[in-house]
Each structure stands twice: as C-alpha cells, then as structure tokens.
Chain A
Amino acid sequence: MEYFTILMAGVAYGFIVGLIPVAGATVGLIAIYSFVGYFDDPYMLVVFTTAIVVSSSIGDSFCGVVMNIPGAGGAAATMIDGFPMSRRGEAARALSAAISTSWANGLIWGLLVFLFLPYYSKIVLYFGTQEMFTFLIFSMTCVVFISSKYYVRGFIALIGGFVVGHIGMDPETAAPRWTMGWEYLGDGIQMIPVMAGVLAFPELISAYRMKAEKIFLDNAMIKSQLIQGVKDSWKYRWDGLRGGFIGGFIGLIPGIGGNIADWFAYSQTVAATKNDDEKVGKGHVRGVIGCEGANNAQKATSYVPTILFGIPGAPFEVIIMGLLMYVGLELGTPAVLADTRFFDALLSSYMWSLLIILPISYMFIKYAVKITNIPFKWYFWPILASLIWSSTQYTGLKEDYMMLAICCVAGMVLKYLKFSRVSFLIGFILSARIESSYLQFTGLYEWGDLLSNPLAIIFLLLAALAAYWGAFKNKSRIDFV
C-alpha cells in the first residue's frame, strides 16, 4: 500500500512538472534531491523516480501543443505541428495523438527494457576495461558530432565540461587538482548546482521572457477529437513506431537523448512525407506522432547504460543516479545488478505508472490545459526556490550559493554563445569516468591490446563513423540543443 501511495504521488508530481514549461523530469528530479533523506526504503525512491519520469514524459507534450513553447526539451519538436493544430481548434486531437503514441511506444520499449534488464546485466561481466574505455570514446564522439550542428562548439563545450569535471582530486596522486586553493573544490564541483545552473536556470529565464499563447479546449469537441487522435495514432502507426525505434536506439547511447531523439524522429517523419499531399510542418498530425514516438522510448532505453554501467543515458538519469546513490543503490555495481528487488521495483513502477497516467491524462485533459495556461511567473518562484534549495544541500554553507551563482552565469553565457550545454554537461558528468577508465586501461593493458578485442574494435569503428557522418553527411541542419 505504501508503495502504491508513493507511486501515485510520483505520477501526480511528474505529470504536473511535465506540464510546467521547461521543467520536466530533470528539474522535477533535482527538486526532490533535498528530500531524499526521507526515503528510508531505497526501493520506494526507485518507484517514486520512475513514476516521475514516466508521467512527466506524457505531461510535457501539453506545453508544445497548447502554449507553443517547448516542454522539457522533448516537446520542442511536437510544437511544430502540434501548435498549428491547436490554432485550428484541434488541440485535443493533437494531444490525444501525442499521448497515445508516446504511451504505446513507452509500453513497447519499457517491456523490452525492464522485463529483460536482469538478463542484460549478464552482459556487464563480458564488458571489461577495454570495452568500457572504447564505449566511452564512441559516446563522446556521438555527443560532439551528432547532438548539434555546431560540432566545433560542441567539441569545445565537451572539453570545457571535461576540464571542469577534472577539478577536485587527482585520482592518481590523491592531491588537490586545479582547486586554486579553494578547499570547497577539493571533492570536485558537485553535479546538482551544475545541472541547475547550466541546464535549468537559463531555460527558466527563457521561459519567463517567452510569450506563451493561450488555447482553450472546446468542451463539445473534446470527446470526438480524443477519439480521432487515437485513430490518427493507429493510422500513422509506422511513423510512431519508427520514432520509437529511433528514440529507443538513441536512448541506448550514453549522453545523447531527449531533444536529439525527438528531432531526429521528426526529421525522419518529414523525410517520409515528402510526397504527401498534406505537408508535415504546418499542422499535420503525422508530425506530432513521428516525434512523440521517440519520447517515452528514449526514456525507457536510457535506463540501460545507466543501470548496467553506471553511465547516464540522458541528463535526467544523472539525477536519478545521484538520488539512488544517496540511498545506497549504486547503479552499475554488482550489488545492484544482482538485486532482484530493485529490478522488480523498476519494472512494476514503470508499468503501473504507464497504466495510471493514460486514463489520468485523458480524463483531466481539460484541466491539464488550464494548468498550462497559468502564467509562468507563478511557477518561476517555486521552481527557482527548489533549484536553490537542492543546490545548497552539499554543505549548506555560503560556498554552495557562490557555486550555484557561478554555474548560472556559465549557463547563460553558454546558451547565449550557442555552445552546446548538453555537451558541456556530458563532458562534466563523464569526466571522472573517462579518466578512471583511462587509468584502468593503461594500468592493465597496452594500446595494442585493443586490436585483439573485437568489441573494442567495433566501438572505435562506430566512433569514426559517427564523426564522419556528423561532420560531412549530417545535412539536417537541425540544432538539436
């Protein structure tokens, strides 16, 4: 009963943060960081965070469709076709198509991931130091060359994040490194202020200044449009499934996801409708279905690298890793991989959340739209307060506030100069992992040993392919981040 209560709380909270422009799973999870100490039972936290992820994915479609501003990144592609539909009085149809497609792909990919995840964990035993080292090289290459059209700036941002992530202690000598004598930095710059300052704060400011448009649902039309939206999802199921496949695949690659999966799925839908009479991009439901297919699928598969290797598959997974670490569940370790209760909690909470959120989002669609119509300045204060609160739990001292301020300024500068903040964050987050992987590799092997490892060779070839495609063949010219 306690688990069910916490699941319902997570679903409700996730749905609401999903409805709030720019909030979504990442900000919603950051906000609960300061309350994590109240979770005596670690599996309750697994249930709560999973429910938030699932329900926020459904909720964030609303912003794009009815406000013409992006939700938590994921809805940016949805709004291209979703909002023109709303203007035509088809908001409920667009939302219904988005929800049903996202939900169906969430179910398919969720089952594939969470039902079989305990079996995938056996892979880890064959994934040694060489494989991990080359897998990280492949991931970094994808982040730089695929996540943004500005790959040179993406590379600089990645290096910047990597350098910032290096501040702290030298793992080789255990001596302070690049701390400039500031003891506070001795254990490195903490993840929460960086996530809050670099990623969330600039979006908050943008949303505050963004002009949202208000759409109201027509009571008489809601029921028929909801049914029509479901019919659309079935009619254009291959677009949705293709989007799901793209999202599912991209979620597996550490560090890229979110916007990339949605935009990529959207661009493929555009490509598939070149000869269609009704052009996608001007308010066609196929555009909504194409990108929403990737939404939940990507979220489900991003759990795979996070749980198996302790490498976050998406930015929100970074927060989940930190939260679960707090209650003693260190993802990517033998203890968690052998913990059947953990996998049970994950599977059941994911599936139950999906089952619960579907009727909720349909039954309360009218009220959900009303929530999105609340002026953003009303959300601004509590969201900012929760970001500050969560970012200052490290020591609670004035240095925490200083660090958050520095991160906020850095985030604004990166956004203004169009340096990929996601690349920066991935460089920061994986910095320690890359360094430790390098140290382990050089401590145990010679470079030539890679040539006798088939999996390592495959990852290096994939990295080269990703770099080539990103630099010379990626003509979509979509700025994913």
Chain B
Amino acid sequence: MTNELLQKRIKTLERRFNLLLLILVVAIGAGIAAVRREPDSLRVRQLSVVDGNGVERVRIAAPLPEPSILGKRYHRDGSVSGILLFDAEGNERSGYVTSDDYPNVFFTLDSLATQHVLLMAEPQGSPALMMWDEKKGALRFFVDEGQPHIRYSRAGEKLVDLVPEVAK
C-alpha cells in the first residue's frame, strides 16, 4: 500500500470516528434529558409507601396482598384491588377497593381485631353503610329497590328495621 493511499484511509477513518462520536454524544444527551423529564404516568402493578421505620403504611396494588394482622398474614375473603392503609405496626386498618371476583366497591375501617365500618356499592346500584362494634351492636343504612332502610341491633338482639314503618 502506498503512503498516499494510507493517508487517505486514515482520514476516512477519522471522519467516521468523529461522526460516531457525535452520534454517541447526542444519544447520551437525549437519554439524560429523557430521564430528567417528569414522567407523565407510572404504570405498575403495585406501589408501596413506607415510613421512616421501614414499615409499609400505604399500598396501591392490583391485586392487593393478603392482610397482615398483628404479625401474621391471613387469607382475605376474595381477591381485591385498590388502596390499603396500614398502622405504624404494619397492621391493615383500612381499604378502598374493588373486588376482583364480583363488581362491588368497598371502603372499610378496621380495629386491631376486626372490621367495624363498611361502605359499599353493589353493581346494580344498591349502596350500604354498616357499622358494628366488638359487642355486636350494629347500625346499617342501605337503599334497595327505591326503599331506604335503617336497621340497628343491640348486642345479642335481633335486627330492628326502622324506616319502613316510618315511611308508610
């Protein structure tokens, strides 16, 4: 190979190298810009928020995990998706969920022992609000077939239906 030809090939290679370097710099710059930009949306199966002690306090998931109650995890009655709130010990205390098996939507408030408030809407449109304490005193509000109902029961007694008598 002559010296002139060698020089020519070196120059060609230099041009190609510089072009590649330019492409690389532009690509890295574009990549950094893309990473720095705020995402418009986050598409995940679950999102967990933990407190300063590492205890999970909020979970958004589809489906949600089985409930953890006072250090042990138990079965949930049916799979649900939505939002759960946990107390500082990690106990599940509230949920705003839809059922994965039946198209109900629920909002619940729980003590350390059991559920105490349930607000729900059924798929055909019947809403209900139910409250009960650990001694089985209960108060229920619901609307069904155009008829409002309020029912209550004292501990150990039968449910008493209030509104139909009043409405007559």
A interacts with B: no
